[in-house]
C-alpha cells in the first residue's frame, strides 16, 4: 500500500521573516556588532600566538618571494645591460619591489574585505534570528550533541548557530570536523538541524537514498544490515530505516503512515537520526546561510514535523517495566488522585500516601530506553572496501606487468 501524501494532512505554518538576510547593512554597524561579540566573549578574539604564526608565515612568504624576484630581476637586468640596454636593465632592478608591494596590497585588501564580509554576515544572521524569535551564536567548539557526526574526528566546531525554544528547542547550524593527518587530512562539512524531543527514543537512522553514492551511503558511519527495517508503501524508496534489533514494533509505532508521509514530502533530501531525546537532520552542505530559499525550506521541514512529535511523547519502552518487575519510578508514586476518604488517618488527620499502592496509571514504564535500544550496532562498509581493493589490485597488476602477461600482451 502506498503512503499517500494526503495522509500527512496540512502542515502547520510558523512565522518566517527572511528580510534581514537581504536588507542593506551599514558596514559601521557590522563592525560595531563584531566588536560587541568579541567583548562579550561570543566571538573569540585572535590570540597572540595565532597572530605571531600568521606574521611569521607572511614574513617567510614575502622574504622568499622577494629573494626570488630580486635574483630574477638582477639576472635579467645584467643580461639586458650586457646587450647594451643599460636603462632597461636598471628598470628590471625595480620590478621585484613593485611586484612584492603589489602582492602585499592585494593580501591586505583581501583581508579587509574578508573581515567586512564576515561582520556583515554575522549581523544579518543575528537580525534574522531576532526577527524569528531566535538567537544567533557565531560559533561553538565541540557542541557535544549525541548525533553520529559529533563524535568523529578532531577540530569539531559548529558555526553560525541559529536557535530557538518555541514551541520546542530547535538549532540550525553548520558543522566542521577533520580526519586524518598530514597530506591525508580532510575537512568534512555538514549542515544540521537539532530538535529536542519530549522523551528518549530508540536509536533510529533514516538514510536518505537520494544523496547516496553508487556503492555506499554518504553517512559517516555504517550500521549492521540486520538492523534494517522495511516499512510499508513507498517509504523504502526514499529512506533506509535502521533500528536496534527487537525494536521493530517500536519503530512501526513511531513511524505511522501519516508521519512517514511527512518525512517523504518534506525531508526526503535529508538524512535523519533519532538518538536519546534528539532528532537530527543532516546534509553535506551549509544550512545557516544568507540564502532566504534555504531558510524557507528548512523552516518548512521543521514546521511539518513539529506537530507530529507529540505522538512520539507517548511512547514507552516496555523492556524497562520488565527489567524493574513492573515497579514505576519513584517520582510516579502517589501522584494520582486518591479515592474519596482515602489517605486520612483516624480523627481526620491526613496520612502519608501508601508507597506500595500507586495509582494504576503510574505502572507505565518510565521515560527512557533500555540499554539494547540506545545505540545501533555498527557495520562494516564492505562494498566500498571491496571496490577499493579491486582498483588497488588492478593498479598493482597493471604497473608490474602481470596484467600484460595474463592477457598475452
Domain contains 348: no
Average pLDDT over the chain reads 79
Q: Which of 26-40, 95-109, 368-382 has the lowest mean pLDDT?
A: 95-109
pLDDT of residue 105 exceeding 80, the answer is no
The pLDDT-based confidence of 334 (bands split at 50, 70, 90) is very low
- pLDDT, mean of residues 164-173: 94
**Closest Cα partner for 265 from 33, 10, 27?**
10
Say yes or no: 140 and 54 in one domain: no
Domain contains 44: yes
**Which residue is it, cell 544540521?**
192
Radius of gyration over every alpha carbon of the chain, rounded to an integer in angstroms: 31
Q: What percent of the chain has pLDDT over 70?
A: 62
- Between 329 and 81, the more confident residue is 81
Q: Which residues constitute the domain of residue 190? A: 5-15+134-312
15-24 as b/e: b if 16+ CB within 10 A: eeebebbeee
Q: What percent of the chain has pLDDT over 90?
A: 55
CA–CA separation, 288 and 273 (whole Å): 19
Say yes or no: 87 and 143 in one domain: no
Domain contains 378: no
Say yes or no: 143 and 283 in one domain: yes
* 340, 359 contact by CB (below 8 A): no
Three-state SS at 396: helix
pLDDT digits (tens, 9 = 90+) for 303-315: 999 988 988 999 9
The pLDDT-based confidence of 182 (bands split at 50, 70, 90) is confident
Q: Which residues contact 273 (CB under 8 A, 6 or more apart)?
A: 147, 148, 203, 204, 205, 206, 279, 280, 282
Domain contains 290: yes
Say yes or no: 138 and 126 in one domain: no
Domain contains 334: no
Say yes or no: 143 and 281 in one domain: yes
Phi then psi for residue 250, to 5 deg, are -65, -40
The domain boundary, picked from 273, 289, 312, lies at: 312
The pLDDT-based confidence of 183 (bands split at 50, 70, 90) is confident
**Closest Cα partner for 133 from 8, 217, 291, 16?**
16
Say yes or no: 167 and 280 in one domain: yes
CA–CA separation, 316 and 249 (whole Å): 12
CA–CA separation, 271 and 280 (whole Å): 8
Cell of 370: 533500555
Say yes or no: 122 and 188 in one domain: no
Domain contains 371: no
> Half-sphere exposure of residue 7, counting CA atoms within 13 Å on the CB side?
16
Helix (H) or strand (E) segment spanning residue 40: none
Q: Dihedral sign, CA of 326, 332, 336, 342?
A: positive
pLDDT digits (tens, 9 = 90+) for 128-156: 999 999 999 999 999 999 999 999 999 99
The pLDDT-based confidence of 357 (bands split at 50, 70, 90) is very low
Cell of 248: 521493530
Say yes or no: 75 and 142 in one domain: no
Q: Which of 226-230, 256-260, 393-397 has the lowest mean pLDDT?
A: 393-397
The pLDDT-based confidence of 337 (bands split at 50, 70, 90) is very low
Say yes or no: 175 and 291 in one domain: yes
Domain contains 405: no
pLDDT of residue 336 exceeding 60, the answer is no
Instruction: Tell me, rounded to whole angstroms, the distance of Cα 63 from its chain centroid.
Output: 41
The domain boundary, picked from 312, 332, 356, lies at: 312
Q: How many domains does the chain have?
A: 2
Domain contains 198: yes
Three-state SS at 338: coil
pLDDT of 389: 58
The domain boundary, picked from 286, 312, 338, lies at: 312
Say yes or no: 73 and 197 in one domain: no
Say yes or no: 269 and 144 in one domain: yes
CA–CA separation, 126 and 36 (whole Å): 12
pLDDT of 350: 46
Q: Is the peptide bond before 167 cis (omega within 30 degrees of 0)?
A: yes
pLDDT of residue 295 exceeding 80, the answer is yes
Say yes or no: 140 and 102 in one domain: no
Torsion, Cα of 331, 337, 339, 345 (10° steps): 50
**Which residue is it, cell 540499554?**
371
CA–CA separation, 151 and 129 (whole Å): 27
Amino acid at each position: 500500500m502506498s503512503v499517500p501524501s494526503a495522509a500527512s494532512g496540512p502542515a502547520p505554518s510558523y512565522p518566517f521573516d527572511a528580510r534581514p538576510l537581504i536588507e542593506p547593512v551599514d558596514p559601521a554597524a557590522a563592525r560595531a556588532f563584531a566588536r560587541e561579540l568579541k567583548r562579550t566573549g561570543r566571538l573569540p578574539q585572535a590570540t597572540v600566538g595565532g597572530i605571531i604564526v600568521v606574521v611569521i608565515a607572511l614574513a617567510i612568504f614575502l622574504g622568499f618571494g622577494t629573494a626570488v624576484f630580486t635574483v630574477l630581476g638582477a639576472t635579467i637586468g645584467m643580461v639586458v645591460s650586457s646587450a647594451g640596454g643599460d636603462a632597461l636593465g636598471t628598470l628590471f632592478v625595480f620590478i621585484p619591489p613593485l611586484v612584492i608591494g603589489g602582492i602585499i596590497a592585494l593580501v591586505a585588501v583581501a583581508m579587509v574585505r574578508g573581515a567586512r564580509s564576515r561582520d556583515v554576515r554575522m549581523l544579518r544572521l543575528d537580525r534574522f534570528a531576532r526577527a524569528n524569535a531566535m538567537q544567533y551564536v557565531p560559533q561553538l567548539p565541540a557542541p557535544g550533541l549525541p548525533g553520529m557526526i559529533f563524535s568523529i574526528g578532531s577540530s569539531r566546531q559548529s558555526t553560525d548557530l541559529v536557535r530557538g525554544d518555541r514551541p520546542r528547542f530547535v538549532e540550525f547550524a553548520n558543522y566542521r570536523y577533520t580526519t586524518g593527518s598530514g597530506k591525508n587530512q580532510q575537512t568534512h562539512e555538514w549542515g544540521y538541524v537539532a530538535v529536542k524531543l519530549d522523551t528518549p527514543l530508540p536509536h533510529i537512522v533514516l538514510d536518505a537514498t537520494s544523496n547516496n553514492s553508487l556503492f555506499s551511503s554518504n553517512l559517516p558511519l555504517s550500521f549492521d544490515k540486520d538492523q534494517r527495517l522495511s516499512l510499508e508503501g513507498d517509504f523504502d524508496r526514499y529512506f533506509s530505516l535502521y533500528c536496534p534489533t527487537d525494536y521493530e514494533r517500536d519503530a512501526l509505532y513511531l513511524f505511522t503512515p501519516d508521519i512517514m508521509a511527512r518525512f517523504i514530502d518534506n525531508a526526503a533530501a535529508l538524512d535523519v537520526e533519532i538518538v536519546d531525546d534528539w532528532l537530527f537532520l543532516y546534509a553535506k552542505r551549509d544550512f545557516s546561510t544568507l540564502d532566504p530559499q534555504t531558510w524557507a525550506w528548512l523552516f518548512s521541514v521543521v514546521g511539518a514535523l513539529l506537530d507530529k512529535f507529540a505522538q512520539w511523547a507517548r511512547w514507552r519502552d516496555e523492556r524497562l517495566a520488565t527489567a524493574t518487575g513492573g515497579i514505576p519510578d519513584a517520582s510516579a508514586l502517589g501522584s494520582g488522585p486518591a479515592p474519596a476518604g482515602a489517605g486520612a488517618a483516624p480523627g481526620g488527620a491526613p496520612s502519608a500516601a501508601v508507597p506500595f499502592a500507586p495509582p494504576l496509571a503510574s505502572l507505565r514504564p518510565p521515560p527512557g530506553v533500555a540499554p539494547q535500544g540506545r545505540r545501533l550496532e555498527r557495520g562494516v562498509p564492505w562494498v566500498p572496501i571491496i571496490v577499493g581493493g579491486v582498483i588497488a589490485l588492478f593498479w598493482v597488476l597493471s604497473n608490474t606487468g602481470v596484467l600484460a602477461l595474463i592477457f598475452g600482451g
